[in-house]
Structure 1
Amino acid sequence: MEIEENMNIKEGKFLETILAEKKQEIAQMPDENPKPIRQTYRIYDYLKNHSDQLQVIAEVKKASPSLGDINLEVDIIAQAKNYEQAGAAMISVLTDPLFFKGNIEYLREISKNVQIPTLNKDFIIDKKQINRAVNAGATVILLIVACFENDFDKLEELYNYAISLGLEVLVETHNKAELDIAHQLAAKIIGVNNRNLKTFEVSLQNSTDLVSYFKEENVYISESGIFGKKEAQKVAENFNGILVGTELMQANNLTKSLTDLKIKRKNDEH
């Protein structure tokens, strides 16, 4: 894993290393005044109203710590437009520059060129990042419970702040304890990451283990480890959507790859 070696990420210290860098990045970040939210549909409502099929959140991702370079030469605007035309429910845009080779400008440009919701995918731990996301056109942000270990008050503060601006929030969890925290927040959109952010190992068992604790009023997204129809079918019954990056960034036939992931759901209870 080339990026790991270059960035000296020690085994089991992925999230810790990323958050240390993120704090330095935030210290240099200007504090912006948030503008009105870009107008599009609410992703929560969309997922509730299109529960007959597994919906796809398609990600623009050039690289990752686990895989290294994924697609550095991609035309991000063309990729985003192709996602939209192929039927993605939302576009996730990586904005972390160091570990994922993302950029806030990617979010800004993509949000200008698509009509559907955009998600700011980053390790968000400060209001400055939320203001920046709004001004770059995001309509949804990611808050990762694991980034707020033993600090529920900070997580709740950022969640409520984002909601007050008109954003929707995808709250990412990884285990039962984190899922309980998301429910305690009264989060409406909850992600289950199949990747352990401490080790970066992936297992779809994460998603299947937690479904018995799901609540009917929420929508649930399975994240990471979805590389095709086989994995999508494993989670389709209990999840409203999947977040897919690498598979779509490397697809030879993007439209077919994305369409294949939109599995018909047997159970539209959630």
Structure 2
Amino acid sequence: MFVLVLLLTYCASLEASVPPTTTLESAILRRSLTVKQQSMPPDRIATVLRITNNMVDHYEGLNQPIAQAEYFKMCRSIFEQLEAELGGTWTCIAGEINSLGSFTHFFTNWYIHFTLADKYRFLIYKGAQEIPLKTCQDQSDCGPKDEEIQVLQDEKAALLLESTKLKQELTEAKLELQMNNLEDIKQNLAITEANRETEEALLEVTVLKNTLAETERKLKEVKDQLSNKESESETMKLAINQLTETLTKEQTKLRERQEENTGLHQLLNTVLSSNPPVCL
């Protein structure tokens, strides 16, 4: 805020120091001149006006009126010639009389704002980086505001230093935030890996449960088959027992018959021995 107030005060003081607007007719200039604001020695003004009039002559000859796109080329030519003749880095802003607006701050003896032929408006000044701030070799190159400009430059340097520190702090804060984010990402990855392992373990348990259920089902089938086999075996045993009992009974009957036959044979032998047969 302090810098802005100084700039506005500086521009206002320069504008107040400019003499009243004057209109000149000159065969050398070839066009009427209206100086809106200036802070420039007469010899520099003459150089600027000579170069500017030559450029207007050139571009009016090419295109009447001057096309909007030609103002860029005109300013570039003015910039190059001023740089060649007066040195330093210059700024040129040009346009039609009612189509140019600007706001800037400038250094003493290096600024002019004027119109030509009530048609063309020009704002021309030298870049700040080429103007001496602390020491002046020639009084014409210095103005009463140079000390204030130096103060502004010092404040600018201090602000740049503070800005650099703030940028460094911001960079460190961003780095710390990135590290924290990295730790969060690592934790999230660990949690994700643990969840994945848990899901795999649950899947393995499910597979084992299904396998166990299938095994139990097959075991039940085997048991059922074995039970059926045992039932069949019991039936066969029962049939064998029945057959065995029947065989035993038949054997008993056979022995009884044999005993009866033996008794009959003995009886027959006895009868035959007591009564020999008579041969006829």
**TM-score if structure 2 supplies the norm length?**
0.21
Higher Rg = 2
From the two aligned structures, give the one with the greater helix fraction: 2
**TM-score if structure 1 supplies the norm length?**
0.22
The structure whose RCO (Cα within 8 Å, separation 6+) is larger is 1
